Structure 1
């Protein structure tokens, strides 16, 4: 069974299209984790056919701020053997992205599947500035066995739910690269597969927002690499947390 989890915060303009794309896939359930949106995100996701879960209802623990927290809570409520994550702000993505991310799990050795894609910006230049200028170089220095991964920060990827339940989820935007490193260390880099997914576009963020994201990503990589003095806000493995804690 495949579950699609879409973390969302104030993405009313795009979330319905992302839900519709997921519903056209082989997924058996599509879940939007709404992080207390103040716009019409939750209603539009529900109208499009998603199961909308407010992040406070996904687990009794009070939510921590950040995207990773929504992903962690999505894993709690998902029922599929494979969980496919999609960002809610996508304006262009391969129409078969869910199937493409799920197919490699036919190989029992595969634990994590990442999408690789071009990321053009509105002016035609290549996006993914934090990825190109920080994440890939820092992975090359600190975790060289993952230097080949082209989109380590991309929000379109899939993981076996049993594996996700046993991993720590960094609460902020460092979540994707931390999961990448953790899976590689637990199962070996060969347990991670990339699929070619064409072109992806989403809402481009300001340099101020990207500076904040870059700091979180750098902290996640350096912390996982054993750099002293860096602490991360993260959730412990879900199996280790009792629902009533």
Structure 2
């Protein structure tokens, strides 16, 4: 590990317990910053309501840390929007944001559009499939942005059990993302959960970054943030344990391929190959190939979008 990373680990890695809630509320009042919690959601009616309720009760009503809770529905066919709205969130459909640009499927697409839907100076992203959710996920990653002026982006770190097996979650992280980062961006080797969906950042940074539209968004934002603001402006906070719905092996394969392509784009801009991933399923005639495109479209920095610039000017 680079000496720079060892030093970073000692100065930019914290625990949620390092910043009690009353200190964060005082810091928020002192800085005048506003905080938006954004949940990208697709068919998450089983969990989204509990997450919104915890944030609303503990960080809006009990302590004035969060100014708004926004759920971006990316086309759910269940009761995700209804449940989130009943729990106290403002629900916005992905397609209603920036309708001039037709939406494409993908988590990164939703996060990119959320910059127009949310109003906060600090944007806190939380995946909508978390179980046994704790407000620590929000206070932990928002905390350094309120108390450390030089920090621009904070990732959550945590244990990820796989069923009853402790620490066996995050398979794509260990098999794809961590090797990529260690080999090509060794200054990012200190991040425990580089692909985690819980992170907060200043709007002033997010609006300047391109957003891969799919599952490569977390790796893409982390790499681009490193190049934009430097390692010392990035941080991570231990928030305990993360429980969520796990995907099957083929879905993880598609995710890994998309993440690899996101890295490849950043290593060689202008690459003209449109890669695909071939997977196999047993059918009537034996194993049959299934071909999936893994090319990753990207959205430009939000600050370059006319509608966003007009809103900010207003």
Alignment match of 2:205 (pick from 151, 160, 163): 163
Match of 2:70 in 1: 31
Are the counterparts in 1 of residues 50 and 133 from structure 2 also a CA contact under 8 Å? no
- Alignment partner of 2:307: what SS? coil
Match of 1:116 in 2: 157
Give the deviation of 1:94 after TM superposition: 3.6
Q: What is the TM-score of this pair, normalised by structure 1? A: 0.95
Give the deviation of 1:123 after TM superposition: 3.1
Give the deviation of 1:10 after TM superposition: 0.5
Q: Which structure has the higher relative contact order (CA within 8 Å, separation 6+)?
A: 1
User: Greater CA radius of gyration, 1 or 2?
Assistant: 2
Q: Does 1:63 align with 2:127?
A: no
Are the counterparts in 2 of residues 173 and 213 from structure 1 also a CA contact under 8 Å? yes
Deviations 1:17-49 (A, max 9, x none): 111122222211000000010000000000110
Alignment match of 1:190 (pick from 232, 235, 239): 232
Deviations 1:194-220 (A, max 9, x none): 001100010000001101111111111
**Residues 226 and 93 (structure 1 numbering): CA distance in 2 closer, same or farther, change over 3 Å?**
farther
Match of 2:80 in 1: 41
Deviations 1:70-108 (A, max 9, x none): 101111111111000000000134432211111101222
RMSD of the alignment, in Å? 1.4
CA distance in 2, matches of 1:129, 1:123: 15
CA distance in 1, matches of 2:102, 2:306: 13
The 5 A counterparts of 1:196-207 are: 196-207=238-249
- Alignment partner of 1:167: what SS? coil
Stretches of 4+ aligned residues off by more than 6 angstroms: none
Deviations 1:123-172 (A, max 9, x none): 32410000011101111111111011111100000010121111111000
Give the deviation of 1:222 after TM superposition: 2.0
Give the deviation of 1:12 after TM superposition: 0.8
**Residues 238 and 177 (structure 1 numbering): CA distance in 2 closer, same or farther, change over 3 Å?**
same
The 5 A counterparts of 1:130-149 are: 130-149=172-191
Consecutive unaligned residues in structure 1, runs of 5 or more: none
Are the counterparts in 2 of residues 143 and 225 from structure 1 also a CA contact under 8 Å? no
The 5 A counterparts of 1:210-221 are: 210-221=252-263
Q: Does 1:53 align with 2:95?
A: no
Give the deviation of 1:229 after TM superposition: 4.0
Higher mean C-alpha displacement, 32-41 vs 227-236: 227-236
